[in-house]
Structure 1
Amino acid sequence: MKSKDLQSVVLSKYEKGEGPTKIFRDLNGTLCLHTIKRWCKMIGQSGSIQLLKPPDYPRIVRTKGASEKVTHCLQRKKPISTRKLAGDLGISQASVQLMLREDLGLKTYKKVVEPMLTDEHKGKRNTFANWVRTNFRKEETMNIFFSDEKMFDIDGVYSSQNDRVWAVDRVDADTKGGIKPKRKFPQKVMVWLGVCSKGVTPLVIFDNDSVDHARYTQEVLPVALEYGNKVLGSQ
């Protein structure tokens, strides 16, 4: 319960004729009896609870100059850690983090990995997009069929950044599943899947990871053709 809410409760109870001890018991220790008595005294004298605000001391660490230095460091393309910033400014790492979040309103973001595109790649993509816009109407684009293959192994997917275990020490973490066993040569399987505006196709699972054009023609194309005729109609 916030301080303003507690003040309202104490004020309401006091106006109903309840004494400090009764209010203290009703709040079940949320406020100490001394504070309740002090608030009741304020209400009796002025009719309200008026708390003094703490004095505003000038900042000596998170100053405007320090914020400008941090902003200048962040504008460089070379990444820098909060620990390095703290060392350069001669302040604590916690102060740097508060400066970044509260003073500058910044948040941390992970780098996004994406394919490196050359100007030639971008030009080809623009040409293809313009070709689609010129040769296909909107309703025709709903019949476009996409497919892809993905290799999976029996060890599963593991993210060292997000898969965490909360524990008191390393031994406790290990007993709670903190060890991820990984085979040197795990068994793998390739899976094919198609998707369109109407849904997804049945999975095509290959027995081994060796897939050539012959297997693709014999095992994948019949599934894609049957599903396409079923949901999109015979083209």
Structure 2
Amino acid sequence: MKSKDLGKVVMRMTVDGISSRQIAKELRNVANNRTNRRWQHLYKRTGSIGLNVPSGRPRIVRTKQLIQKVKQRFTYKRRRSARQLVKSLRVSEATMRRVI
């Protein structure tokens, strides 16, 4: 069963008033109790289970503007270390490695 279908089943059971623990038992632990509670909370708060929205911090640091800045720095000063670029552009070392 796909997660969208499973989410719909959990949503329907939530509307019927079944607790997350009972849902986990009925679905034979296909989705655990914690996932059921998260989906129930999302459904009660927003009216749907937004599975298409990723959780966590968005990765928007590596933009075209940053890539252009790094290219410009390399054209003006060829001998530039990644550490110096990290300090001057105020990005993390991992982001700089992705750009370079």
TM-score, scaled to structure 1: 0.23
State how 1:1-235 maps to structure 2 within 5 Å: 1-51=1-51, 52-53=53-54
* 1:128 aligned partner: none
Whole-angstrom distance in 2 between the partners of 1:2 and 1:21: 20
Deviation at 1:53, TM superposition (A): 2.6
Deviation at 1:43, TM superposition (A): 1.1
Deviation at 1:24, TM superposition (A): 0.6
Whole-angstrom distance in 1 between the partners of 2:59 and 2:19: 35
Secondary structure of 2:45 counterpart: helix
CA offsets 1:139-198 (integer angstroms, 9 cap, x no match): xxxxxxxxxxxxxxxxxxxxxxxxxxxxxxxxxxxxxxxxxxxxxxxxxxxxxxxxxxxx
Deviation at 1:48, TM superposition (A): 1.0
Supply the AA of the counterpart residue of 1:19: S
Whole-angstrom distance in 2 between the partners of 1:36 and 1:3: 11
Gaps of at least 5 residues in structure 2 are 63-100
CA offsets 1:87-115 (integer angstroms, 9 cap, x no match): xxxxxxxxxxxxxxxxxxxxxxxxxxxxx
Deviation at 1:45, TM superposition (A): 1.1
* 1:105 aligned partner: none
Secondary structure of 1:48 counterpart: coil
Deviation at 1:56, TM superposition (A): 7.1
From the two aligned structures, give the one with the greater helix fraction.
2
Whole-angstrom distance in 1 between the partners of 2:27 and 2:45: 23
TM-score, scaled to structure 2: 0.51
Whole-angstrom distance in 1 between the partners of 2:26 and 2:9: 10
From the two aligned structures, give the one with the greater strand fraction.
1
Supply the AA of the counterpart residue of 1:41: H
Larger radius of gyration: 1
Cα RMSD (Å) of the superposition?
1.9
CA offsets 1:116-154 (integer angstroms, 9 cap, x no match): xxxxxxxxxxxxxxxxxxxxxxxxxxxxxxxxxxxxxxx
Supply the AA of the counterpart residue of 1:28: R
Secondary structure of 2:14 counterpart: helix
